[in-house]
Amino acid sequence: MAATPPSPGKVLFGLFILGAAAVFMAVTYAGDLISDLRFARTAMAPSEAHVVSADCTRYNYLVSACTIAYVDPRSAQPDQRKKLQYLMFGSVAGERYWLLQPQSNPGVVTSNTGLDHLGNRVATLTGLLGTITLILFGALLRLRPTMPESEGAAHNYDDALESALQAHAQTQAAGSQPSMAARPAPPRGGGPAKEFGRRVR
């Protein structure tokens, strides 16, 4: 017995979940990634910010999500925690990390971990977002409404009938039918046929 395909409602719900995951990843990790790409070739100096906590979570032994929480005494709210968030393939367990700041823009805070794995982060984020986009696009194409078989047969019948009527009309317009020849009168008794006489009163 063939498996019953999922209903359009379930498919749309799954697509919504995938879309929400893509938006979450873009909002969470794209900002720090773009910042590091801007200052990747800039000379760095130790940052005056202080690390509060740091942890990494590895998902399915494939992707690691790392967060470094810190406070910056130079900011308007020195006790407010800020975060650096990274998404990358592989693991960074056992690596040492510290905070850095570009010499050209000391207000920006980054880390050696983010800069050392910059190419990995770019490949991870673009790869995951690209895969989700392809899945969404392919699923939406499969959800396009298709013409039922009976409706398709009806359209074919109508097309054939219309073609036959057009061919018949063209034949009549051509006027190629031969005219009927005059039929001679059959022989009859009493001699050859005569014309009626004319009588005037």
Confidence of residue 159 (pLDDT cuts 50, 70, 90): low
The structure's pTM equals 0.67
**Residue 166 — left, alpha, or beta (φ > 0 → left; ψ -120 to 50 → alpha)?**
alpha
Asked whether residue 112 carries a pLDDT value surpassing 90, the answer given is yes
In angstroms, what CA-CA distances link 153 with 101, 146, 161, 198? 70, 14, 12, 69
What integer pLDDT is reported at residue 142 of this predicted model?
Answer: 80
Asked whether residue 87 carries a pLDDT value surpassing 90, the answer given is yes
Confidence of residue 172 (pLDDT cuts 50, 70, 90): low
Q: What percent of the chain has pLDDT over 70?
A: 70
In a domain, 148, yes or no: no
What integer pLDDT is reported at residue 22 of this predicted model?
Answer: 94
Q: What is the mean pLDDT of the chain?
A: 80
* 94, amino acid identity: G
In a domain, 113, yes or no: yes
What integer pLDDT is reported at residue 140 of this predicted model?
Answer: 84
In a domain, 86, yes or no: yes
In a domain, 191, yes or no: no
Q: pLDDT tens digits, residue range 55-75?
A: 999 998 899 999 999 999 988
What total of structural domains would you count in the chain? 1
Asked whether residue 158 carries a pLDDT value surpassing 80, the answer given is no
In a domain, 42, yes or no: yes
Asked whether residue 165 carries a pLDDT value surpassing 90, the answer given is no
What integer pLDDT is reported at residue 12 of this predicted model?
Answer: 84
Asked whether residue 150 carries a pLDDT value surpassing 70, the answer given is no
In a domain, 112, yes or no: yes
What integer pLDDT is reported at residue 173 of this predicted model?
Answer: 55
State the residue range of the domain holding 62.
12-142
In a domain, 186, yes or no: no
Among 21-25, 149-153, 166-170, top mean pLDDT goes to 21-25
For Cα atoms 54, 33, 83, give the angle at the middle one, nearest 5 degrees.
30
* 164, HSE (Cβ side, Cα atoms, 13 Å): 6
101's tokens? 């700041």
- Give the bridge partners for 102, in sequence order: 44
Q: pLDDT tens digits, residue range 24-60?
A: 999 999 999 999 999 999 999 999 999 999 999 999 8
What integer pLDDT is reported at residue 200 of this predicted model?
Answer: 40
What integer pLDDT is reported at residue 151 of this predicted model?
Answer: 47
CA-CA distance, 140 to 24, in Å (whole number)? Answer: 21
185-201: average pLDDT: 43
In a domain, 151, yes or no: no
